[in-house]
Structures are given as C-alpha cells and as structure tokens.
C-alpha cells in the first residue's frame, strides 16, 4: 500500500446514473492503493438529474468518501463543463487533484508526486490536437491576458507538436479554490459568440484549462502514465498509475481493468448491482465467452509479406484453428497507421475486436460462409459474422501486405510474432500483372499507407521508390518493386517468421507448430493441403525473366530461388 502524501485531496464527480457507478469504482480503486487518501465526491445539485440513491451514499460512506454538494455552473447545456467548479469545494490552501470519474487507480504511486515542491499545477497534454489553429490559440490567450511564453507540448497519442493544450481528466493544483474561480471565469469568457474560435464544444473546458494552468506559476507537464487514454491505446503492463478508460468496453477488453472491476464487485456489492442496471455494463458481469481475457499482447500476431505470396491462404489456414481468429485486411489498419507515428493503433485495433467478440457482437472480415477468403483477387467481399469461439483467451491475428510491410520498423516493436510470406518472383509478378491495378502498374501514390510519402519508409526504401517511379516500363517497375519488398523482408528477417509460400504448401503443419510455439498456444493442429492454382513454366514472360535475372539475382539467391 502507498500513501498520497501530505495534504493532497482528491475530488471527482458523482451523480445519479452511470457517473455513480464510475465514481464508486474510482473510489474503490483509490482506496485499495491509497488507504489514507482523502477522497471527496462532488455531487451536482440539479433537480432534473435526480438524487443519489441511499445505496450509493452508503457505499461512498463505506469507502470513506466525503460528499460535497455544488451548483453546476453549466448544467444542463454543457454538463461535462461543470467540473471546472469542483476544485473550489476543497480546502483553499491544501494541494488537490481533480479526477474524471471514468478512471481507475492501478498503482500505489503517491499522487503527491504530481506536484513537486517547485510546481503550482500539473496536467497531461491532450491525447490529440482536437482543437485550435495557432491563430485561434493566440486569440484565447490574448482574451484571457495570458502570455504563451513560447512553450509547446506534444499530443500523447498522435505525437503532434502543439501549443499548450491539456487533457482535463486530471488537474492537480496547489491552490484549488483560486484555480477553480479562474478556470470557471475563463470558461465563461470563452463562450462569447463574438470571439472567433470556431467550434469550441465539447472542448471548451480544456481550451480554458491551458491558459489557467499557464498563468498560475510553474507547470508540471505529466506523462501519460498519470492519465492513460485506454480508449485510444492498449494498456501496457507497467507504468500506468491512473487509467482513463472512458467506457465499460475498455474494461472488458483489458485484463488488468477487468480484474479491478471483478474485485470491486466482490468487495462492494452495490457496484455489481449498479452495473446490472446499465446495458453497456452487463457484458462485464455476463461475458459471452468463458474465462478471463489473457494478458495484453500474449495472444496476438500479424501476417504480412509480398503481395500475391499466399498471405490470404495462410490467414485462412490459421483462422481455421480452434479459438483462432484472423482478420483479413481490416479497413481500420490504414487510419491507425497514418494517424499515429507508431504502431499503437494496431494494438488498439486488436483490443477493439476482442472487445466486440467478448460482448458477443459480430465483426467485419473477408469471409465466405464463415471461412476467411484465401484469394482476395478472386473474392474481395467483406461481411459481418461471429467466429466460433469458446474461450476469452482466443488468438487474434490481422493480415495486410503492403501496409504492414511499410510499417515493419514500428510493428516489430510490439513484440508480437509476425509471419511474413515470400513466393518465387516469377509467379508473383505474373499474378501482379493479372490481378490488382496498383500491382500491375506499380501506382504507389494510390495506396493509403505504403505510398511514397509514408513516414515509415527507411531512407534506402525511399531511394528505391524514387527509382522505380522514374521507370517508364511497367514490367521493370514490377521487378524493381518486388526487389524492394524482398530486401525489406531480408532487412527485418531477425524479427519475422519468414516463410516461403512453396514450403507452406508442402508442409503447412510445420508453420502452424512454429507459430503455436511462439504464441505458447497448446492444442492440436488442423490443416489441409488445398489445391492451389499453379502456372506452367512456359507461361513466363521473357521480358520480366530477363530483368529479374539482371536485377534480382542476389535477393532470389537469399531465398533459395532460381529462374525457371
């Protein structure tokens, strides 16, 4: 057990409805880690919202939470903005921290560490640069009479460099009453319709927060471990003290949060009874699948490789295993890779799919009659279905060729197994010529991720792309592109389970055994040798064969290939 340290008060909002449940969960998690904490529940006094039940008040009393009523300044027009007043309910000269109710405490790290002696306030930068051009921020600071002082912060999820803009889910200050008055006044000032700020809702409280924090003295800019956005990132195993989960589905998909919820329900029956009254919380009490979800990342893998090298065939093979699911080219891959500078979006995608399946929802995939499509050139349909699962600890993979190939430097950092496929270049290039236009013509500028401007390309890859785009002959571009992709696989060989398509056709069980071992996945193997269309040697185009021989001998030799 830890301590919150001297004179640090904690306040959060509790009101009738879901905020009562969230507030109780937060209070219970804080009390477990910080038994000496001074906890305060701010209860809005607004008749249309109803009264807290005697059961909730009793639970707060059991947890040692003092209740404080207040008049919500922006109810009901802007309910989330009412938080600006609650710090003012606390003792004036005692340091305090406001927490959003939809948070859980995961460690005993003292909250007094939020405010080292030399700092007057603390907050975490916003997850995303959701509001404001530099010109609009200048208007905000000018209207409030605050100097920007040349400071910049970086959004914790998108990585954008921006003028000071903070998440209002955690705000720590030395003088809570003075700060609350300033925050509320600034928020009211910025509601002025004559002030050219564009759309300011639902971010108004956060827009006002930044200049208020900047004006009161030295500011501690926190890392995301103090206000972790689990709705936008998968929860890591270490380093998160306070988790901002936002919705019960995040608790469902994150084992550590699920464990907190289960223990809270056992310790405080009022929490379980409240959860049963909200449909979106019921899956936590009645999961669609048996067992508890396993630890994050231990059951995830990726499939990539050179296009038309059997990646969909392998996706179907693995998806057919008991309690395995493989997403064949999920749409969300592109936005998750382009909107972030790392691979955390792919981790989030996997967590969101797990959440849906644990709720019993259908998911979208390239499937036909429940089986993953093994040739997307022949059949590229998407449909909704629910895979046959009987365990919450199912294996989940996702497959993409070019997008994942381009993002390999970041994907490798996830520590997940990555199955990568290569195929003899002659049938590969022939398939490119007869399938997709972007492969036939090598029109990389049409691709959402692996385009010439994609930030994940290495320097040598950019030079290769520049070289092939300057080539006028399509068959030469195809050869140059295959060479670049082959070199990419060889460059990352140490972090891949690299397979030749021909070897998988010959012995698919060997690949299954290797992947099962890397995922520590017990169980029997299921595989079949399906008939795959092959092309006879006399059908190779002489022009491509010659260019392959001229330009790709080294790469072919590395994979054990020779020209037909």
Question: Could you report the per-residue pLDDT of 339-388, keeping only the tens digit for each?
Answer: 998 999 999 999 999 999 999 999 999 999 999 999 999 999 999 999 99
Judge whether 232 lies within some domain: yes
Are 305 and 235 part of one and the same domain?
no
One-character DSSP codes across 35-102? TT-EEEEEEE--GGG----HHHHHHHHHTTEEEEEE--TTTTTSGGGGGGGGGGGS-TTS-EEEE-SS
pLDDT value at residue 286: 81
Q: ∠ CA 402-405-411 to the nearest 5 degrees?
A: 130
- Per the omega criterion (within 30 degrees of 0), is the bond before 76 cis? yes
Are 213 and 344 part of one and the same domain?
no
pLDDT bracket for residue 523 (50, 70, 90): low
The per-residue pLDDT for range 442-496, each reduced to its tens digit, is: 999 999 999 999 989 999 999 999 999 999 999 999 999 999 999 999 999 999 9
Q: What is the mean pLDDT of residues 207-224?
A: 95
Are 201 and 309 part of one and the same domain?
no
pLDDT bracket for residue 123 (50, 70, 90): very high
Question: Of 206, 221, 244, which residue is a domain's last?
Answer: 244
Q: Kindly report the CATH number assigned to the domain that includes residue 322.
A: 3.40.50
- Please state the domain count of the chain: 2
Are 196 and 100 part of one and the same domain?
yes
Q: Any residues with CB less than 8 A from the CB of 302 and at least 6 apart, and which?
A: 346, 397, 398, 399, 404, 411, 416, 417, 418, 419
Judge whether 266 lies within some domain: no
Query: Please, are residues 283 and 360 in contact by the beta-carbon 8 Å criterion?
Result: yes
Question: Of 244, 279, 314, which residue is a domain's last?
Answer: 244
Judge whether 2 lies within some domain: no
Judge whether 239 lies within some domain: yes
pLDDT bracket for residue 399 (50, 70, 90): very high
- Per the omega criterion (within 30 degrees of 0), is the bond before 202 cis? yes
Q: Is the pLDDT of residue 526 over 60?
A: no
The per-residue pLDDT for range 68-106, each reduced to its tens digit, is: 999 999 999 999 999 999 999 999 999 999 999 999 999
Neighbours of 110 (CB within 10 A): 17
pLDDT value at residue 534: 47
User: Three-class SS of residue 546?
Assistant: helix
Identify the burial level of 130 via C-beta atoms within 10 angstroms of its C-beta, where 0-12 means exposed, 13-18 middle and 19 or more buried.
middle
Judge whether 460 lies within some domain: yes
Percent of the chain with pLDDT over 70: 93
CA distances from 127 to 159, 160, 169, 228, 230 (A): 8, 9, 11, 9, 11
pLDDT bracket for residue 186 (50, 70, 90): very high
Are 238 and 312 part of one and the same domain?
no
pLDDT value at residue 132: 85
Judge whether 516 lies within some domain: yes
pLDDT value at residue 290: 62
Distance between CA atoms of 182 and 14, rounded to whole angstroms?
23
Are 114 and 232 part of one and the same domain?
yes
Domain encompassing residue 135? 9-244
Q: Is the pLDDT of residue 283 over 80?
A: yes
Judge whether 264 lies within some domain: no
Judge whether 311 lies within some domain: yes
Q: Kindly report the CATH number assigned to the domain that includes residue 46.
A: 3.90.550.10
Distance between CA atoms of 104 and 96, rounded to whole angstroms?
17
Q: What is the pTM of this model?
A: 0.88
pLDDT bracket for residue 242 (50, 70, 90): very high
Are 416 and 324 part of one and the same domain?
yes
Q: Any residues with CB less than 8 A from the CB of 75 and at least 6 apart, and which?
A: 44, 46, 49, 82
pLDDT value at residue 515: 79
CA distances from 254 to 292, 396, 526 (A): 10, 15, 29
- Higher local confidence (pLDDT), 6 or 313: 313
Are 207 and 80 part of one and the same domain?
yes
Are 309 and 203 part of one and the same domain?
no
Are 331 and 396 part of one and the same domain?
yes
Are 214 and 354 part of one and the same domain?
no
Identify the burial level of 347 via C-beta atoms within 10 angstroms of its C-beta, where 0-12 means exposed, 13-18 middle and 19 or more buried.
buried
Neighbours of 336 (CB within 10 A): 20
């Amino acid at each position: 057990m830890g301590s919150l340290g001297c004179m640090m008060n904690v306040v959060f909002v509790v009101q009738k409805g879901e905020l009562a449940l969230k507030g109780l969960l937060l209070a219970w998690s804080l009390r477990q880690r910080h038994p000496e904490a001074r906890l305060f529940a701010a209860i809005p006094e607004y008749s249309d919202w109803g009264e807290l039940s005697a059961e909730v008040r009793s639970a707060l009393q059991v947890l040692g939470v003092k209740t404080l009523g207040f008049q919500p300044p922006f109810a009901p027009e802007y309910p989330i903005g009412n938080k600006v007043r609650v710090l003012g309910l606390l003792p004036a000269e005692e340091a305090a921290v406001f927490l959003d109710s939809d948070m859980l405490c995961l460690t005993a790290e003292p909250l007094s560490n939020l405010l080292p002696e030399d700092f007057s306030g603390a907050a975490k930068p916003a997850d995303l640069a959701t509001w404001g051009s530099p010109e609009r921020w200048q208007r905000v600071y000018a209207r409030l009479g605050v100097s920007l002082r040349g400071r910049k912060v970086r959004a914790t999820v998108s990585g954008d460099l921006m003028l000071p803009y903070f998440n209002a889910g955690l705000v720590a200050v030395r003088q809570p009453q003075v700060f609350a008055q300033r925050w509320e006044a600034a928020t009211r000032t910025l509601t002025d319709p004559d002030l050219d700020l564009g759309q300011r809702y639902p971010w108004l409280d956060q827009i006002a927060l930044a200049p208020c924090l900047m004006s009161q003295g030295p500011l501690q800019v926190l890392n995301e471990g103090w206000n972790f956005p689990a709705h936008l990132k998968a929860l890591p195993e270490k380093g998160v003290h306070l988790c901002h989960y936002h919705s019960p589905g995040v608790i469902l998909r994150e084992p550590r949060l699920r464990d907190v919820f289960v223990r809270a329900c056992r310790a405080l029956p009022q929490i379980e009874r409240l959860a049963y009254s909200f449909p979106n919380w019921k899956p936590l009490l009645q999961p669609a699948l048996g067992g508890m979800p396993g630890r994050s990342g231990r059951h995830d893998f990726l499939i990539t490789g050179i296009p038309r090298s059997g990646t969909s065939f392998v996706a179907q093979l693995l998806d057919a295993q008991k309690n395995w699911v493989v997403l064949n080219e999920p749409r969300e891959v592109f936005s998750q890779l382009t909107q972030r500078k790392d691979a955390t979006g792919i981790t989030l995608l996997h967590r969101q799919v797990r959440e849906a399946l644990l709720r019993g929802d259908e998911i979208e995939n390239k499937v036909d009659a429940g089986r993953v499509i093994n040739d997307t050139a022949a059949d590229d349909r998407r449909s909704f279905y629910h895979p046959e699962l009987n365990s919450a600890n199912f294996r989940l993979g996702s497959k993409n060729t070019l997008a994942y190939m381009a993002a390999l430097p970041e994907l490798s950092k996830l520590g997940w197994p990555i199955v990568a496929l290569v195929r003899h270049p002659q049938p590969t290039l022939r398939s490119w010529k007869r399938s997709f236009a972007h492969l036939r013509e090598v029109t990389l500028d049409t691709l959402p991720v692996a385009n010439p401007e994609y930030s994940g390309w290495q320097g040598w890859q950019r030079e290769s792309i520049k070289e092939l785009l300057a080539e006028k002959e399509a068959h030469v571009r195809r050869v140059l592109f295959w060479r670049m992709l082959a070199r990419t696989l060889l460059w990352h060989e140490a972090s891949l389970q690299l397979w030749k398509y021909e070897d998988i056709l010959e012995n698919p069980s060997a690949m299954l055994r290797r992947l099962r071992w890397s995922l520590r996945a017990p169980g029997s193997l299921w595989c079949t040798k399906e008939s795959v269309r092959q092309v006879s040697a006399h059908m190779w185009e002489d022009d491509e064969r010659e260019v392959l021989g001229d330009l790709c001998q080294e790469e072919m030799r590395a994979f054990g290939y020779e020209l037909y």
